[in-house]
Amino acid sequence: MRVSKAILLIILIIVIVALIRPNHRENPPPSSQYQRAANNASSDLIRLGQKCDIFRGKWVPYPKGPLYTNTSGCGIEDGVSCIKFGRDTEYTKWRWKPDGCELPVFNPTRFLELVRGKAMAFVGDSVARNQYKSLKCMLHSVARPVNQTTETGTRVKRYFYTHYNFTLVYIGSTHLVKAVDVDPFSLKPARLHLEEPDETWASRVENMDYVIISAGHWFSRPLIYVEKNKITGCDMCRSNNVTDLTRYYGYKKAFQTAFGTLVDRLNFKGTVILRTISPTHFEPEYWEGRGNCVRKRPFTRDEIRIDWYLNMFLKVQMEEFRAAEREGRERGLRFRVLDVTEAMRFRPDAHPNHYGHPPGHPKRYADCLHWCMPGPIDTWNELLLQMLKSENKEGSEDGKGLL
Ligand SMILES: *[C@@H]1O[C@H](CO)[C@@H](O)[C@H](O)[C@H]1NC(C)=O
Ligand SMILES: *[C@@H]1O[C@H](CO)[C@@H](O)[C@H](O)[C@H]1NC(C)=O
Ligand SMILES: *[C@@H]1O[C@H](CO)[C@@H](O)[C@H](O)[C@H]1NC(C)=O
Ligand SMILES: *[C@@H]1O[C@H](CO)[C@@H](O)[C@H](O)[C@H]1NC(C)=O
Ligand SMILES: *[C@@H]1O[C@H](CO)[C@@H](O)[C@H](O)[C@H]1NC(C)=O
């Protein structure tokens, strides 16, 4: 596969911008109409037919708009604070409508009650952080967590919701496995030790009740694979003496190792949730990172394009997930899928594009990879809430139907 430097450069710049965003201070609470509606809502799925699959459906108009605003002070990072930088709010006026049921509006109190006394970790790259931040904003109207981060740097964040005895953690990991020479500014391949987990997360998840794990776009950059201390292959490394094993080889092994670590670490007793790969919407160069994402509305089913890369990543991660699920079951571990891929395929309109920085800022590449906040990434956490609810009524129809 031929590589264009420009493409890589763009992806890496997006990643860098995402990595070095500043922290925000906490501001006074908002009082939102949304919060009243949410507290009023029963937050139970409303079944309309026999079959309810919360991960399959369509986006329908929703004039009420987003679940929180850019003034709620929950720490929306500039890179995804699209409305702040002049984006209109139309993209927020859609709601996910699963086939056969209605997804209730997120109820932050319900969420916090369900995770009372628990600890939840988001493990992954800046898209995982995107979801973690979204959750923090969605909970912001009912509870302010205490910053319990002890680590320096930006890779680990730890917050404690005192009233609910709930710990929310983000652990940054680009490839899930041990990765050396990860330099977003360089085209030098990252060296992946495919059999060794990235200890940054592996050493921190043992006591977690939920580990929400994901990986994605870093596997579209040049990679060298190391197994048993030997280079076994690469992807896009343009070396004559190293076999090109494709990016999917590394992706597969990374999930094998990550899931294997969770299954083998005998003290881990939590639930593993695979958050499936998040689509990008660069146009005209789909996936590869060149172009823009200027669309103003969700795709219709007819407009959706087949994204071969995305389908392959999804297939590979699901295969590894199924294998791990079987193994984990023997040890009483629960494996669940938070499938966001299908819903997000429809949302080319919800990436920052050029609204992640002040207008007139020296030209940057378009970000068609992360998701604006507020925006449809909030739906990921609405789906997560439904999963937590069905966990709580094990064996019920919900439990089977959703997970
Ligand atoms: C709250 O629920 C009641 C009954 O279900 C309904 O009549 C009322 O309109 C709801 N209020 C809001 C603010 O959603
Ligand atoms: C929120 O967005 C508006 C534009 O709708 C902008 O004028 C304002 O500065 C933003 N506020 C913050 C705190 O980002
Ligand atoms: C808080 O949760 C932890 C488990 O995460 C539990 O061990 C502890 O007893 C809880 N504390 C209170 C006060 O409920
Ligand atoms: C949270 O605490 C860590 C460690 O003390 C600190 O580096 C970080 O800036 C804090 N975050 C916020 C948002 O205050
Ligand atoms: C491939 O060749 C380069 C230089 O020709 C060498 O530095 C490198 O170690 C070789 N790699 C392998 C896996 O043999």
Distance from C-alpha of 117 to C-alpha of 108, rounded to nearest angstrom:
16
Query: Do residues 14 and 367 touch, judged by C-beta distance below 8 A?
Result: yes
Give residue 362's pLDDT: 67
Domain tally, the chain: 1
Token readout for 243 is 């076999």
Give residue 151's pLDDT: 92
Q: Would you say residue 36 lies in a domain?
A: no
Token readout for 334 is 């629960």
Residue of 193, 217, 354, 370 with catalytic role: 370
Give residue 360's pLDDT: 75
Give residue 290's pLDDT: 73
Give residue 7's pLDDT: 52
40 lines ligand 1 (CB under 6 A): yes
Query: Residue 393: what are its φ and ψ, rounded to 5°?
Result: -115, 70
Q: What domain range includes position 364?
A: 5-21+43-402
Q: Note if 4 is an active site residue.
A: no
Ligand 1 pocket test, pick from 40, 43, 105, 106 with the greatest ligand atom count within 8 Å of Cβ, gives 40
CA 33–ligand 1 middle distance (angstroms):
12
Give residue 376's pLDDT: 98
Give residue 306's pLDDT: 85
Give residue 186's pLDDT: 82
Q: Would you say residue 328 lies in a domain?
A: yes
CA 372–ligand 5 middle distance (angstroms):
43
Q: Which residues line ligand 2 (CB under 6 A)?
A: 70-71, 81, 83-84
Secondary structure percentages of the chain, helix, strand, coil, to 5: 35, 20, 45
pLDDT in tens, 286-299: 555 678 999 999 99
Distance from C-alpha of 305 to C-alpha of 37, rounded to nearest angstrom:
36
List the beta strands (DSSP E) in 229-357: 230-235, 271-275, 283-285, 290-292, 334-338
Q: Would you say residue 184 lies in a domain?
A: yes
**pLDDT by position in tens, the chain (length 403):** 344 444 544 554 454 444 444 333 333 333 444 444 444 455 566 776 667 899 999 999 999 989 899 888 898 999 999 999 999 999 999 999 999 899 999 999 999 999 999 999 999 999 999 999 999 999 999 999 999 999 998 899 999 999 999 999 999 999 999 999 998 888 899 999 999 999 999 999 999 999 999 999 999 999 999 999 999 999 998 888 899 999 999 999 999 999 999 999 879 999 999 999 999 999 886 555 678 999 999 999 999 988 889 999 999 999 999 999 999 999 999 999 999 999 999 999 999 999 998 887 766 789 999 999 999 999 999 999 999 998 876 544 443 434 3
81 Cα nearest atom in ligand 2: 14
List the beta strands (DSSP E) in 215-342: 223-227, 230-235, 271-275, 283-285, 290-292, 334-338
Give residue 259's pLDDT: 98
Q: Would you say residue 37 lies in a domain?
A: no
Q: Would you say residue 210 lies in a domain?
A: yes
Q: Note if 367 is an active site residue.
A: yes
Atom 4 of ligand 2, nearest CA residue: 84
Q: Would you say residue 30 lies in a domain?
A: no
Residue 230's CB is within 10 A of a number of other CB atoms, namely 7
Q: Would you say residue 218 lies in a domain?
A: yes
Atom 10 of ligand 2, nearest CA residue: 84
CA 231–ligand 5 middle distance (angstroms):
9
Q: Which residues line ligand 5 (CB under 6 A)?
A: 231, 239, 241-242
Give residue 335's pLDDT: 96
Q: Note if 361 is an active site residue.
A: no
Give residue 286's pLDDT: 57
